Structure 1
Amino acid sequence: MAHHKSAKKRIRQTARRTEVNGARVGRIRTFVKNVEAAIAGGDKTAAAAAFKEAQPELHRGAQAGVMHANTVGRKLSRLNARIKAMA
């Protein structure tokens, strides 16, 4: 257990950040799942619309530091390729 005032503060801050970051990651996962579901459903317009909603959410995650920028780029690229490949 922390004994210094600054260490106790760091524990409080870390707990708060962990909660916020967990919520951010969960939100990103939800948006990606929506795109995945639209792709699986075979509806190209719905998939494109879901992708447009997911894109800024993923970029926000990268900006906040909960996801690496390259990971976000890779995920978006793969999702977009799958949408374009739809008949």
Structure 2
Amino acid sequence: MANIKSAQKRIKVIAKKTARNRMIKSALKTAIRRFEEAVAAGNLEDAKAKLRFVEKKLHQAAAKGVIHKSKASRKVSRLAVRLNKAV
């Protein structure tokens, strides 16, 4: 444990940010999994709605710095290709 007051504060702040990032990443993985399940089930209208939701969440995460903006765009592109192949 740190002895300096500012270092103790940094530890608290980093713990909060880590928890927040972990929650956001977990929510992203869940949304992507639900989209893939909809595509696998052949439920294309539902899959389109879920893709829009996933795209929104990915770009929000990129805007907050949880993931890189290029990674978000790459994920959206690959998911869109997967949906288009299913159609």
User: TM-score, normalized by length of structure 2?
Assistant: 0.94
Q: Which runs of 5+ in 1 are unaligned?
A: none
Aligned to 1:73: 73
Q: Which runs of 5+ in 2 are unaligned?
A: none
Query: What CA distance in whole angstroms lies between the structure 2 residues aligned with 1:44 and 1:23?
Result: 28
Deviation by residue 1:14-69 (Cα, 9 ceiling, x = unmatched): 11111111111111111111111111111211111110111111111111111111
Q: Which amino acid aligns with 1:5?
A: K
Q: List aligned pairs for 1:8-27, cutoff 5 A.
A: 8-27=8-27
Structure 1's consecutive aligned runs of 4 or more residues displaced over 3 angstroms after TM superposition are none
* Count of matched residue positions in the alignment of Structure 1 and Structure 2: 87
Q: List aligned pairs for 1:33-48, cutoff 5 A.
A: 33-48=33-48
User: TM-score, normalized by length of structure 1?
Assistant: 0.94
Query: What CA distance in whole angstroms lies between the structure 2 residues aligned with 1:53 and 1:39?
Result: 14
CA RMSD of aligned residues (A): 0.9
